[in-house]
Every structure is written in C-alpha cells, then in structure tokens.
C-alpha cells in the first residue's frame, strides 16, 4: 500500500503541539487556527500509523509513541529551520561588523548565546564583543564616546518609564527580567536571611553608584527612599562601577550593594552573600544604542536576541 508523503506543515504542527501541549498555543505559534492544527495532527498520525497524543477536553498529553518520534524528529526539524534561515541570510547578502558591549553581570554564557544565535542566522556578519567589568568616571551613558554599536545593560525597572530621560538613546526590548537583591558581607546581619523586604533598606546604609551614570538612573537603581517613603542612607565609596570594586567596597565597608538576583557563573566571590529583595521593581536586561546610529544590523541582532 502506498503512503502519501508527509507534509512539512504536519511536522511543524507535531513539534509545536508536543512542546506546547495546547492546541491554542500551538496554533498561535504557527499562525494557524486550532482546528487546522488538529487536522494536521490527525493526518500526521494517520501517516505514522498510531496515535501520538492523548486528547481530552481539558488537556493534551504526549504518548510514548509521540515521545519517541519527537526525540528523533526535533533535532532534524531544528537543523532544517536553521539551514533555511542561513540560506535566507545569504540571499539577503547581510554583511558587516557589529560591535557589542555587555556588562559581565549578564553572564558570559548568556552573551555568547545571543552572539552565537545571531552569527548562525547571519553568517556574513562579524560580531566583536566588548565584555565590560565596570564603568569608570569616563563612561558616557549617552554612548557618544563608547566604542560599541550596541550595549547590553541591566536597567532599573521598566525602560519604557525612562525613555524620555535620554531621548538620544533607544532602549529595549527587554530580553530578561530579574528581581532585585542585596549583596552583603558574609558577616552582615542580612546575610543569613532568605529574603529582605524593601522597607528594611531604610535600616541600613547602601552603596551609592558613582556619578558616571545620570542621576535619574542612580535614583532608580538605588532609590533614595523605600516604597512607603522612608529615607534610605546612601554613601559613595567607589570611584568606578564594577564587580571587583563593588565586592571590595562590600567587604571593606560592610555596606549593602543593591544588585540583581541573577546568579552568574564565574562571578561568585568569597566573603559576600546575595539575598533576594521583595518590594522593588524588577531589573530588565535590555539593549541600548544611540537612536541616530540605528542600523539593520542592530535591529537584526536585537530581534535574534529577543527570540533566543
């Protein structure tokens, strides 16, 4: 008995439903209707010769046959999609060099993941990375004098709320969010806590970021008052903003450093403890570039990073 060839749409529907386990989400992902996804799955199961999913009115489950097939199909499916993406990039003739700066507190693995995904999709583009351990007094937040085209930076809160503060810059989109955290000496009273409430910050002294950042950014990163209005004591003890200088100040002065709760491999330091903070806006990892320097390469990199 002859078997009709499998339609690529059937494979797409199978992988999407196997990953989402929800017809509505799989349909949205494929820009189809739920009914069309259901039809494609029925045709695919007919081609395979046995059911791949158990369906009820409440949930969708992947059967053992579906799990086995997914393990074999998914790697090939991803490779095919990547090959098509690469072919499209070559056809568009995308070429050039992108200079990418990033603060190392986002994690080397995360930065390299973005860059690798971009270079796979646009093999004709060379990315030059500039990992930044800190920002000295010479740092220009407006990026006029920074030798990068794009900067990945932790941002204090939703960047949309601050866009008007720096009209020369383009912020976003958000690539990752992280709750805030305090970094304290292992001997600090807060070091043994599971969490710290933002109101408790008024009972301690916090490290003030150096003036290389604009005042609105500093106040957003280390607020001058708690959410209820209690004043927070802030002291300037660093000449530059960086991991090593912050750790030195934390251990030396026993002050609190307000950071993000993302634990980044390779940045652990002896003698300091990170404790999550509740009651403060989340920090956002965002790309920043000068609005006048907007380019197709920047837009494409941001798009790839946002999808990665």
Q: Count the domains in the chain.
A: 3
pLDDT for 90 equals 64
pLDDT for 87 equals 73
172 and 292 together in one domain: yes
pLDDT for 3 equals 55
- Residue ending a domain, choose from 45, 75, 91: 91
Q: What is the CATH number of the domain that holds 266?
A: 3.40.190.10
pLDDT for 91 equals 60
Q: Does residue 3 belong to any structural domain of this protein?
A: no
Lowest mean pLDDT among 2-16, 202-216, 225-239: 2-16
Give the range of the structural domain holding residue 292, as residue numbers without chain letter: 94-176+285-307
Q: Which of 261, 257, 253 is nearest to 242 (CA)?
A: 257
Please count the other Cβ atoms lying within 10 Å of the Cβ belonging to residue 177: 15
Q: Does residue 1 belong to any structural domain of this protein?
A: no
Where residue 1 falls among pLDDT bands split at 50, 70, 90?
Answer: very low
Lowest mean pLDDT among 48-62, 162-176, 198-212, 214-228: 162-176
> pLDDT at residue 237 above 80?
yes
87 and 216 together in one domain: no
Residue 224: C-alpha distances to residues 132, 198, 216, 306 (Å):
27, 12, 11, 32
Whole-angstrom Cα distance, residue 76 to residue 81?
9
150 and 298 together in one domain: yes
185 and 48 together in one domain: no
Question: Using a CB cutoff of 8 Å and minimum separation of 24, what contacts does 139-142 make?
Answer: 139/212, 139/213, 139/241, 141/166, 141/212, 141/213, 141/214, 141/217, 142/166, 142/168, 142/169, 142/290
Lowest mean pLDDT among 93-97, 119-123, 143-147, 265-269: 265-269
Q: Does residue 20 belong to any structural domain of this protein?
A: yes
Q: Tell me which of 42 and 57 has the higher pLDDT.
A: 42
Cβ atoms of 23 and 17 within 8 Å: the answer is: yes
156 and 297 together in one domain: yes
Q: What DSSP designation does 123 have? A: T
263 and 205 together in one domain: yes
Q: Does residue 2 belong to any structural domain of this protein?
A: no
> pLDDT at residue 239 above 80?
no
275 and 156 together in one domain: no
Cβ atoms of 220 and 229 within 8 Å: the answer is: no
132 and 251 together in one domain: no
171 and 189 together in one domain: no
85 and 100 together in one domain: no
pLDDT for 4 equals 67
Where residue 193 falls among pLDDT bands split at 50, 70, 90?
Answer: very high
> pLDDT at residue 233 above 90?
yes
pLDDT for 56 equals 85
Cβ atoms of 300 and 112 within 8 Å: the answer is: no
> pLDDT at residue 144 above 90?
no
15 and 47 together in one domain: yes
Show the tokens assigned to 158: 């939703």
Please count the other Cβ atoms lying within 10 Å of the Cβ belonging to residue 22: 15
What average pLDDT does this structure show over 29-51?
A: 92
Show the tokens assigned to 209: 């970021």
Q: What is the CATH number of the domain that holds 36?
A: 1.10.10.10
pTM (global) more than 0.75:
no
Per residue in 249-294, pLDDT (tens digit) is 888 888 999 989 887 655 567 788 999 999 999 999 999 998 888 7
> pLDDT at residue 248 above 90?
no
78 and 103 together in one domain: no
């Amino acid at each position: 008995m002859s078997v009709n060839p499998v339609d690529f749409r059937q494979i797409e529907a199978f992988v999407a439903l196997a990953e989402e386990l929800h017809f509505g989400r799989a349909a949205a992902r494929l820009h189809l209707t739920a009914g069309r996804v259901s039809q494609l799955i029925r045709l695919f199961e007919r081609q395979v010769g046995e059911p791949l999913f158990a369906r009820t009115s409440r949930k969708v489950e992947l059967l053992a046959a579906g799990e086995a097939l997914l393990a074999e199909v998914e790697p090939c499916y991803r490779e095919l999609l990547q090959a098509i993406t690469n072919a499209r990039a070559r056809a568009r003739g995308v070429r050039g060099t992108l200079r990418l700066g990033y603060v190392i507190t986002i994690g080397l693995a995360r930065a390299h993941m973005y860059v690798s995904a971009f270079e796979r999709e646009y093999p004709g583009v060379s990315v030059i990375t500039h990992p930044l351990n800190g920002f000295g007094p010479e740092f220009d937040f407006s990026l006029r004098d920074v030798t990068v085209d794009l900067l990945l930076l932790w941002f204090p809160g939703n960047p949309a709320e601050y866009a008007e503060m720096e009209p020369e810059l383009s912020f976003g989109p958000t690539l990752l969010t992280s709750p805030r955290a305090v970094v304290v000496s292992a001997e600090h009273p807060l070091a043994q806590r599971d969490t710290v409430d933002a109101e408790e910050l008024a009972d301690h002294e916090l490290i003030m970021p150096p003036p290389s950042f604009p005042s609105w950014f500093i106040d957003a990163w280390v607020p001058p008052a708690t959410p209820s209005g209690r004043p927070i004591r802030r002291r300037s003890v660093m000449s530059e903003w960086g991991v090593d200088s912050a750790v030195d100040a934390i251990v030396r002065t026993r002050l609190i450093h307000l950071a993000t709760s993302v634990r980044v491999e390779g940045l652990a330091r002896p003698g300091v403890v990170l404790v999550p903070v509740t009651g403060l806006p989340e920090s956002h990892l965002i790309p920043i570039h000068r609005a006048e320097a907007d380019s197709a390469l920047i837009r494409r990199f941001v798009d790839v990073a946002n999808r990665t």
